[in-house]
Chains A and B, each alone.
Chain A
Amino acid sequence: MSSTVVETTPKVEPQVEKNYLNADHTIKSWLLTTDHKRIAVLYLISVTVMFFFGSVAAALIRYELTAPRGLLLSSEAFNKTFSAHGVFMVFFFLVLAIPATLGNFLVPIQIGARDLAFPRLNLLSWYLYTIAAVLVLISMFMGGVDAGWTFYTPLSSTYSNTQITLCLVGIFISGFSSIATGVNFVATIHKMRAPGMTWFKLPLMIWSTYATSVIVLLGTPVVAITLFLVVVERAFGFGIFSPELGGDPVLFQHLFWFYSHPAVYIMILPAMGIISELITCFSRREIFGYKFVAFSSMAIAGIGFLVWGHHMFISSQSVYQGIIFSLISFIVAVPSAVKVFNWSLTLMKGSVHFSTPMIYALGFLGLFVIGGLTGLYLASVDTDVHLTGTYFIVAHFHYVMVGGTIMAFLGGIHFWWPKMFGRMYSEFWGKLSAIIVFVGFNFTFFPQFILGYLGMPRRYHLYYFAPEWQVYHIMSTLGSSILGIGFVLPAIYLTHSLVKGRKAEANPWDARGLEWEYTSSPPITENFAKTPVFRGKVYDYDAVADAAKYEGEIEPVIEGKGRTNV
C-alpha cells in the first residue's frame, strides 16, 4: 500500500492562466453565457456585422451620387438604400455600439464588481437585439423600406408599399434590448460599486454610461410605442396619425424626436466617456475639472429631452415654440462645450503620448467641435430654414455621429483591446489607420457642408438640375473610399492580433483605473481575485512620478467580502 502512496506526485497544472476567454470553449458556453465580458464580445461581433451592412449601403449611396443622373440604382432603390443605411447605422449600430460592447465590458470592472446586477437580463438583451437585427435584415432583403430611418407618417403609415411593418417590429424589439441594458446599468452603477468607490471616484466612462442609461430608460419606451402605433395603423387600420380620421401626422414627429433627439446623446455621451479616459491616460494627467465633466453628462441627459422641436422648425410649429426650442438647443451646447474645454485643459501641461487610441481621441476633438458648432447654425431658426433638409444637416450629424461616436468607438476599442483579448495590435497599422480615418472622414463630409449650403437636398437621388454640384459629390465619394479603407484596416490587423499579436501585460498603457490595475489581461471570469477596495484618487496620474508612493496609497485587494449568509 505504502509504495503506491509514494508514487503520487502532485499533478502539474499546465501553465495557462485561466481567463474569461479560455474558461470554456464550447459554443454553448458562449451562447448561454451570463458573463458580461463574453456578452460584450458577442455584441462586438453583432454590431460589426450590422455596421458592415450599413457601410455597404453607404458605399452604394456615395457611388450613385457621383453622377447627376445616377449610375446604378433606380430612384426607388436609392430610397431604399439610404433608408437601410439609416436604419442599420442608427438603430443597430450607433445607439448601442459603445454601451453594449465597451460599456458591457467595462461597467462592472471599472466599479469593482464581479458582473452586472442582472446577468441573465444582459444575455436576454443580446438575444432581443439579434432577433431584431435578423427581422430587420429579412425586411431589407424582402424589398426594403423607403421611408428613411425617421419613418415619418403618413408616408410610413399609409402610402408606402414597402416592408415597413416588419422593419418596425424589428426596431420595436431592439428597443427592449436597449431598455434591458439601461435597467441593468442603472442598477449596477447604483448598487454594485466596490467599497471606497464613491460617486466622485467613478471613472468618467461610468458617469457618461449612467447618463446614457437614464436617457434610454426615459426615451426608448416612447419611440417604441410610437413605432408600434405605425405598425398597428398599417396592419389593422387603427388611425392614430391618420389625417383621414382627424389624426395629426405631426404628432408622430413630436413623439419620434422626443426619443430620437435624446438618442443622439445616447450615441455621443458614451463616446465622451471614452474620450475622457483616453485623454487623461495619454496626457498622463488628472482630468481637469472632474466634477464639471461628470455633471455635464447629466446636464446633457436632462436638457437633451427639451430640444426635440429643433427638428421641426418647418413642421407647422408655432413661432414661439420655435424660439423656445431654439433657445434650449443653444443651452444644451454649453455642457458639451464644458467637456471640450476640460479636455483641452487636460492636454495643456500634460505630457501627451501619441499612441493609437490618443490619435483617435484627438481626431474626435477636432471633428466633434466642427460637428457641434455647425449644429448651432441648425439650432437657430432663421439659418435652419435655409439649411434644413439639405446636405448641411447630413454633414453636421455625420461629423457628430461618425466623427464623434465612431472615432471614439474605434479609439476605445484600440485602448481596451489588450484588456479584452490579451493581445497587442501593431502600433504602426493602428496609427496609420487612425490617420486614414481622419483624412477620409473630412474628405467625405466637408464637401457636404458646401453642397448643403448651395442647396442640395438630402435624400435626393438626382441633381441634373445643378450639375455644378458633381465636383463636390465626387470629392465626397473619393473621401468615403479612403474612409472605407480606414475601417477595413482595423478589422484586419485587430483580427490578426488575436492570433499573432504580442501578449499584453495587465496594464500596457500604464493607465489608472480598476480595470488596468487590479485585473489581468484578459480578466478572469470573476474579474477580480478578491473584491477590490478603492482607496486612492480617480485618474491619479500625478502620482506616476512617484510610483512607490502610489503603490502605498492603493493597496491591491485587502479585505474579503464580509458577507453574511442567511
Chain B
Amino acid sequence: MSDHTHHHDDEHDPVYFQYEQIDQQQETYVLGMWSFLVTEVLFFGALFMLYIIYRWKFQDDFYLVHEQLNWKLGGLNTAVLLFSSFMVAAAVHYAQKKRKTQQLICLGITLLCAFMFMMVKTKEYGDKWSHHLIPNKAFSYGEHHGGGGELGGQGEHAAVLPNGGKITLASGATNMGGEGASHDEFQYHPGNGTIAPQPREKPAFLKFLDGVFAPLDMPEKEQHGSPEHARLFLSLYFLMTGLHGVHVLVGIIVISALMILTIKKAPTITDYIPTEMVGLYWHFVDLVWIFLYPLFYLIPK
C-alpha cells in the first residue's frame, strides 16, 4: 500500500493517478470504449437511416446503379475484414495468455488485412474516378456512357438524362452576394444529344493495382436509370464507405501504435486491456462493413 499522492511521480506504475486500483482502471477503460462505440453507432446510424429511406423511395434506380459496383472486390474486402476480425480476437486471446509473440503475429496479420482492404478500396475508388462516377463536378452517368465524344467547356460537366437532356454542374455560376465561398449549382438543359465523356486515365501510381486485382475485374455495365438517383446512390456510397475507410485508417494507426508499445514493453501495456480495446474498435469497423457490403453491392432485383 503506497500513498496515492505519489502515483504520478512513479513512471512505472501502471495505475494512473486518478484510479484506486488496476481493476477499476481496466473496467473504466472498457466502459469508456463502449461509450465511444455507442457514439459511433449513432454516427453511422444517421447515414444508414438516410440510405434506408432513399432505397425504399428509389428501389428500381438503386438496383440499376448498384450494378456499377464491383461485388467481387467488395466480397474480397468482406473476407479480408472478417479474417482480420478473427485475427484480432486471437490477438486478445494471446494477450490474455501473455503469449506475446503470437499476439504480435496476430496483430501483424490484422494490420496487413487493413492495408489490403485499403488497397482494394483504392482500386475501387480509382475505377469510379475513371468512369466519372464520383459525385463531384466531373460526375457523369447515363445511357450513352462510353459512346465516345467530348464534353463542352472547362469547369462544366454534364450528366445525360434518359430523355436526352442533361444536368450540368457549373462551379460558382451565380454568385448572388459576391462574397463568401463559391458553390455548385445544378442547371437543367434540354437535351441536345451531348454524349458523356470517355473514361479518364488513372494516375500512374495507382496503375499497379489494376494489375494486382485484374482477375476480379468485371465487365463494364451499361448505365441505366435516372442519373439524379444514381448521383444520390453514389453520394451515399462514397460517404458511407469513405467514412468507413477513415475508420480503417484510424485502425491502422491504432494497431501499429499498440504493436510498437507492446514490442517496446511500454509501462502502459501491462495486460490485455489495451489489446481488447483495439479489438473492440476493430470489430466495430468490421461490423459496419458487414452491413455496408450487402446494402450497396448485393441489392436484389
Contact = CB atoms under 8 A, between A and B. Distances in A.
Interface string A244-255: 111110010001
Contact of B236 (A217, A218, A226, A240): A240
B185 interface: yes
A161 B181 contact: yes
A341 B177 CA distance: 52
A9 B47 CA distance: 71
B11 to A, nearest CB: 14
Contact of B232 (A119, A161, A245): A245
A182 B42 contact: no
Contacts of B20: 531, 561-563
A221 B43 contact: yes
Contacts of B19: 192, 563
A166 B47 contact: no
Given A238-B238, A248-B53, A561-B20, A158 B1 contact: no
Contacts of A531: 4, 20
A379 B4 CA distance: 53
Contacts, number: 181
A439 B200 CA distance: 68
A466 interface: no
A564 B21 contact: yes
A186 B31 contact: yes
Contact of A117 (B18, B57, B58, B238): B18
Interface in B44-67: 44-47, 49-50, 53-54, 57-58
A187 B45 contact: no
A114 interface: yes
Contacts of B176: 161
A221 B21 contact: no
Contacts of A229: 50, 239
Contacts of B45: 221-222
B283 interface: no
Nearest to B172: A161
Q: How large is the interface on A (under 10, 10 to 19, 20 to 34, 35 or more residues)?
A: 35 or more
Interface string A176-197: 0001001110111011100000
Contacts of A236: 135-137
A526 interface: yes
A237 B181 contact: no
A117 B181 CA distance: 42
B183 A234 contact: yes
B155 to A, nearest CB: 13
A183 B21 contact: no
Interface string B178-194: 11111111100000000
A237 B137 contact: yes
A251 B228 contact: no
Contact of A561 (B4, B47, B175): B4
A115 B232 contact: no
A401 interface: no
Nearest to B28: A191
B135 A217 contact: no
Interface in B1-59: 1-5, 13-15, 17-22, 24, 27-28, 31-32, 35-36, 38-40, 42-47, 49-50, 53-54, 57-58
Interface in A472-524: none
| Most chain B C-beta atoms within 10 Å of own C-beta, residue among A188, A232, A563 | A563
A113 B28 CA distance: 13
Interface string B75-108: 0000000000000000000000000000000000
B139 interface: yes
A163 interface: yes
A348 B236 CA distance: 58
Contact of B36 (A166, A183, A222, A224): A183
7 contacts: A114-B18, A158-B183, A225-B43, A240-B232, A526-B4, A562-B20, A563-B4
| Top 4 A-B residue pairs of the complex, sorted by shortest distance between their CB atoms | A221-B43, A115-B18, A238-B235, A221-B42
Interface of B: 1-5, 13-15, 17-22, 24, 27-28, 31-32, 35-36, 38-40, 42-47, 49-50, 53-54, 57-58, 135-137, 139, 167, 169, 175-186, 226, 228-229, 231-232, 235-236, 238-239, 270-271
Given A143-B179, A240-B236, A562-B20, 6 more contacts: A113-B18, A116-B18, A143-B180, A240-B235, A560-B1, A566-B22
Interface of A: 76, 108, 113-119, 142-143, 158, 160-166, 179, 182-184, 186-188, 190-192, 217-222, 224-226, 229, 232, 234, 236-240, 242, 244-248, 251, 255, 258, 526, 529-531, 560-566
